[in-house]
């Protein structure tokens, strides 16, 4: 079986935004009112594609009263084949499995340009 790895770089601005909204635990948090227009939607999606055509989406989503990170692996035909538990942080590795193969999507912060 094979192991595939790919990396997605995201901006410092995106990292800061995701970290900020992930601190909101429920609708009683005063900060929630700043994001009410984002209720029940996908706020941001980061996609990495693997050599064999599989791809992974790591989405920042909002529910009724909080935000969560939803990592999903799709095969080359776009069919969902693996869903991980929701994550608390955006940066790091997301390891998926399908048909005996391992797929690792690493999300890293872009280096600042000088």
pTM of the model as a whole: 0.89
Is residue 32 in some structural domain? Answer: no
Domain count, the chain: 1
Confidence of residue 77 (pLDDT cuts 50, 70, 90): very high
Quote the domain boundaries for residue 99: 3-26+39-109
Least confidently predicted of 28-32, 62-66, 106-110: 28-32
Confidence of residue 79 (pLDDT cuts 50, 70, 90): very high
Is residue 34 in some structural domain? Answer: no
Instruction: Find all residues with CB under 8 Å of 80, minimum gap 6, and list them.
Output: 72, 73, 74
Q: What are the distances in angstroms from CA 111 to CA 7, 11, 59, 60? A: 14, 8, 22, 21
Q: What pLDDT is recorded for position 114?
A: 62
Is residue 43 in some structural domain? Answer: yes
CB 57 within 8 A of CB 71: yes
State the maximum Cα–Cα separation within the chain, in Å, rounded to a whole number. 49
What confidence tens digit (pLDDT) does each residue in 24-52 have? 877 787 887 787 777 888 999 999 999 99
Distance CA 81, CA 59 (A): 16
Is residue 97 in some structural domain? Answer: yes
Q: What pLDDT is recorded for position 15?
A: 96
Q: What are the distances in angstroms from CA 43 to CA 2, 5, 21? A: 32, 25, 10
């Amino acid at each position: 079986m094979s192991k595939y790895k790919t990396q997605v770089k995201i901006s410092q601005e995106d990292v800061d935004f995701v970290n900020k909204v992930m601190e909101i635990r429920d609708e009683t948090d005063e900060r929630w009112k700043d994001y009410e227009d984002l209720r029940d939607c996908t706020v941001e999606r980061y996609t990495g594609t693997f050599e064999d055509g599989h791809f992974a989406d790591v989405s920042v989503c909002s529910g009724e009263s909080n935000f969560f990170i939803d990592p999903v692996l799709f095969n080359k035909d776009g069919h969902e084949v693996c869903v991980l538990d929701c994550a608390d942080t955006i940066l790091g590795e997301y390891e998926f499995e399908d048909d005996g193969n391992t797929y690792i999507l690493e999300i890293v912060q872009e280096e600042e340009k000088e």
